[in-house]
Amino acid sequence: MTVSNQPMQSVDLIFSADQEEFGAGVRRLLDSHSKSADIRRVIETASGHDAELWRRLVAQTGVAEIGIAEQYGGAGASLTDVVVVCAEMGRSLACTPFFATTILAASALIAADDAAAQADLLPSLAAGEVTATFWPGAIGGMAASAASETVRAEAAGDGWQLSGTANFVIDGATAELLVVAASVDQSVALFVVDTRFPDVWATVRRQPRAVMDATRRVAGVDFGQTPGRLIGEVAFGAQYVGAAMNRVVTALAAEQAAGAERCLEQAVAYVKDRFQFGRPVGSFQAVKHRCADILLEVDAASAAAQYAAWTADNRVEEFPLAAAIAAEAATEAYLFASRECLHLHGGIGFTWEHDSHLYFRRARATAALFGDGSYYRELVAQRFGL
Amino acid sequence: MRILICQVGKPLPSTPEVIVAMQPSLEEFETEVRAFLQAYPEKRARGGNDFLWGAGDDKVALFDEIEPKAELEHIAAVRQWRGSLADANLSWITGPLEFGGRDLPRRYQRLLDTMSRDYEVPDSAKLTVSMGMVAPTILAHGQQSAKEKYLRAIFAADLIGCQLFSEPGAGSDLAGVRTHAVQFGDSWRVTGQKVWTSGAHFSDIGLLLCRTADGPRHRNLTVFVIDMHAAGVDVRPLRQMTGGAAFNEVFLEDVVVSDADRLGSVHDGWRVALTTLLNERAAIGGAGMGGSGLLSSKRLLAMLRHFGVDQDPLIRQQFGRLMVGLRSAQASRYRAEAKIRAGKAPGPELSLSKLALAQNLQRLSDLVAQILGPKLAVDTDEWGAYSWSTFVLGVPGYRIGGGTDEILRNIIAERVLGLPRELTESAGGSV
């Protein structure tokens, strides 16, 4: 690892009119079809997904095509596009297969750079026809410390078979395609398990877990000599996972920053209206200074996410560093904003009826699953060459 | 090749198309700058922008506090450098043609700055107030005669300006200034006291905020440009906690100011002052830091390794947090700059930048203290150790000057988030 150089060219950190328009279209749809009442209905269901909403999003906005190259039926391989959409999804907490399919699984397939696998699988992901997910294993950001049980792969005939347990798989109970990082001897390789085939399906045991954040489901998945398709090369699995996770955490950072921004909007609206001592509580400095501090973190986090996407799209060497920086900033900003905005609502914020706890849960669960601030601070130090 | 035909004093082209056509391309501009730089200063000896531990000066100070004699020499060198830039028509790249500018986009200025870094040119940090705050205020609010008299001269450093705003009784509550001006025909007479005036001792002109009538506080202020060498102006150095004297007290007694040097309308000085303050926060929060390399990751990485703490998990956490703070604030500035380039005015968001910088300086201060241990408090003659003490002692000032952390939070809450103002006797609210 070397000290990454910052870009020499001018950094034009601005969304295009097309991107703004795309984001606005997604927001309009979510505003009318993924209201608080809709989310509360969906989180009580077994799947945890709003199938009707997903169908609408795919058909009317094309969110499933985002970040996928045009040759595979996508809207183009721009991570900045991804950041725009993830922000809208993060604001609304919409319960759909988007994150697991379009962010997690697609990122793994893109990172593995296996043309045949991409041609076979990405078009159906981009069309929103198939749901998928990605389990990065014990390496990568997700639950690095908790993922003690890993999946192993062995050559079997012409192909490979997977055995073992993948804990903490996002949408693990529902996703049709499972992209899995499994150990092969001393190295790691990526495999696709396609549970649409009955003989594959029969070897996979999925255990949906009770989760703190019901808007994003997690399952444990047991593989028992499950047929898997190798993607990319065996020796490079760890690199694929690393590259995929850089994309994932950048997307996630945009989602977290936008969730944090939504918390702030709700809190600001509340403290303007709430009167105590004969004045709006938002006129007290103790309250308004807290709001200013939240904005400071939210602004830095969303800018850092946008910048990380910019470095990826402009092939700037420091993308992995920028991704880790965005992840740290956004993880901390979301924890801070969701906690403090809940608090600014007073007793109302502690009720089940108020949405504050949905964001608090998302912020806390995301940090727990994908790495908290200290994890990313260490990663930043490493990526500076320490 | 496009030719720059527009010269000072000649009629200006009226249509934007003509102006665009006269601008040199970035490549042509680069050739022009290279020719200028090769003719003027010496090429910098150091190789590239690598940081080498133990090489050169180990000074790390937030406030420029050199000895008075050395400072005079430095100011003379800066004036000479700016003068030669002006002779080459390179002193004010983004300014209007009419007042000695080149009317070119900001990226031309950045190119000039980047190219200059390879040469031994004097650091222009001492002119931040003059060029970054006084000049934009004159440009926005000055009468035609004042713009002609001052702007070209400021960028050539024939004139250096300072900011005469704060007073002993008017700090965060700036609208409470008591220095007053009384009109006598075409001129005004000013009496009062200013404080915290950076660089007053080497300045030629001062941007003065004063009271021109009693009554509602924000509506009876006026801004003038005064001559710092005029009779009745007394500049006294103010020693700050670092031990140096970057600031001054300025006493004004019956100082005569021409009405032609009034900026904005009489009693409309609050609006004029807001222009200055907005530019102040942008200048302080900006990436520059006077090119001191204080916030350079290379310097910090070299320091961590030199003192053998690069594997310490707590230090790595602190380092990671600091770098996230610095880089995300930088990303936020990139975004604000892109907004400005797209034609949107800088807004109160710039206050975020200054607040972020103050926090990051505090983080850096805590980190170096952690790294150095007793060597921060005691000079062991080791290169790059005790020199940080000046920095650590300077950090508290950054949370106060240019709008305290608290005033900035008020501005962010009220202007950006739209929260209600404090209920006070002042109608003006926070700046």
Residue B419's pLDDT band, with cuts at 50, 70 and 90, is: very high
Query: Which of A11-25, B29-43, B389-403 has the least mean pLDDT?
Result: B29-43
Burial of B16 (0-12, 13-18, 19+ CB in 10 A): exposed
Strand positions, DSSP E, chain A:
132-135, 151-156, 159-170, 177-184, 187-194, 204-208, 218-231, 275-276, 279-280
Query: Which of A77-81, B38-42, B77-81, B218-222 has the least mean pLDDT?
Result: B38-42
What SS3 state is found at A366? helix
Residue type, A307: Y
> Does the distance separating the beta carbons of A303 and B313 come in below 8 Å?
no
pLDDT for B289 beyond 70 = no
- For residues B392-400, average pLDDT: 92
- Residue of B179, B166, B85 whose CA lies nearest to B124: B85
> Does the distance separating the beta carbons of A296 and B328 come in below 8 Å?
no
pLDDT for B16 beyond 60 = no
What SS3 state is found at B165? coil
Q: Which whole-number Å values give the CA distances from A352 to A270, A355, A366, in the listed order? A: 17, 7, 20
What SS3 state is found at A125? helix
- For residues A275-298, average pLDDT: 96
Q: Which residues of A touch B419 (CB under 8 A)?
A: 268, 271-272, 280, 282-283, 287-288, 291
Q: Which residues of B touch A294 (CB under 8 A)?
A: none
Query: CA angle, corner A292, sides to A291 and A298, nearest 5?
Result: 90
**Which pLDDT tens digit goes with each residue over B205-261?**
999 999 999 988 888 999 999 999 999 999 999 988 888 888 899 999 999 999 999
- For residues A17-29, average pLDDT: 97
Residue B401's pLDDT band, with cuts at 50, 70 and 90, is: confident
- For residues B60-75, average pLDDT: 82
Tokens, residue A105: 């699984």
**Which pLDDT tens digit goes with each residue over B172-211?**
889 999 999 999 999 999 999 999 999 999 999 999 999 9
> Does the distance separating the beta carbons of B408 and A292 come in below 8 Å?
yes
Q: How far off is chain B from A361, nearest CA to CA, in Å? A: 24
Work out the end-to-end distance of chain B between its first and last CA atoms, rounded to an integer number of angstroms. Answer: 47
**Which pLDDT tens digit goes with each residue over A246-276?**
999 999 999 999 999 999 999 999 999 999 9
> Does the distance separating the beta carbons of B352 and A268 come in below 8 Å?
no
Tokens, residue A61: 């906005």
> Does the distance separating the beta carbons of B419 and A271 come in below 8 Å?
yes
Tokens, residue A185: 């001897």
- For residues B43-65, average pLDDT: 70
Residue with tokens 């927001």: A27
Q: Which residues of A touch B311 (CB under 8 A)?
A: 386
Q: How far apart are CA A98 and CA B6, in angstroms?
A: 57
Closest chain B residue to A299 measured between Cα atoms?
A: B332
Q: How far off is chain A from B30, nearest CA to CA, in Å? A: 15
> Does the distance separating the beta carbons of A300 and B329 come in below 8 Å?
yes
Residue B353's pLDDT band, with cuts at 50, 70 and 90, is: confident
Q: Which of B328, B355, B410 sits opposite A303 (nearest CB)?
A: B328
pLDDT at A57: 97
> 10 Å Cβ neighbour count for B119?
14
Residue A8's pLDDT band, with cuts at 50, 70 and 90, is: low
Q: Which of B297, B352, B409 sits opposite A289 (nearest CB)?
A: B409
Q: How far apart are CA B127 and CA A252, in angstroms?
A: 43
Q: Which residues of B touch A385 (CB under 8 A)?
A: 301
Which position among B27, B42, B65, B280 bears the catalytic label?
Answer: B280
- For residues B308-325, average pLDDT: 97
> Does the distance separating the beta carbons of B422 and A285 come in below 8 Å?
yes
> 10 Å Cβ neighbour count for A116?
9
| Size (chain A), residues | 386
**Does the structure's ipTM exceed the value 0.85?**
yes
Query: Which of A57-66, B22-31, B345-354 has the least mean pLDDT?
Result: B345-354
**Which pLDDT tens digit goes with each residue over A83-127?**
999 999 999 999 999 999 999 999 999 999 899 999 999 999 999
Q: Which residues of B touch A381 (CB under 8 A)?
A: 316-317, 319-320, 323
Residue type, B242: T
| Arithmetic mean of pLDDT over chain B | 86
pLDDT for A233 beyond 80 = yes
**Which pLDDT tens digit goes with each residue over A327-338?**
999 999 999 999
> What are residue A154's phi and psi, to 5 degrees?
-135, 145
pLDDT at B423: 65
Identify the bridge partners of residue B256 per DSSP, sorted by sequence position.
B189
Tokens, residue A294: 């939240």
Q: Please say whether the beta carbons of A347 and A297 come within 8 A.
A: no
pLDDT for B95 beyond 50 = yes
Q: Please say whether the beta carbons of B365 and B393 come within 8 A.
A: no
pLDDT for B387 beyond 50 = yes
**Which pLDDT tens digit goes with each residue over A301-341?**
999 999 999 999 999 999 999 999 999 999 999 999 999 99
Q: How far off is chain A from B147, nearest CA to CA, in Å? A: 31
Q: Please say whether the beta carbons of B285 and B132 come within 8 A.
A: no
- For residues A46-66, average pLDDT: 97
B167 is catalytic: no
| Arithmetic mean of pLDDT over chain A | 93
Tokens, residue A180: 């899995």
- For residues B158-174, average pLDDT: 94
pLDDT for B47 beyond 60 = no
What SS3 state is found at B59? coil
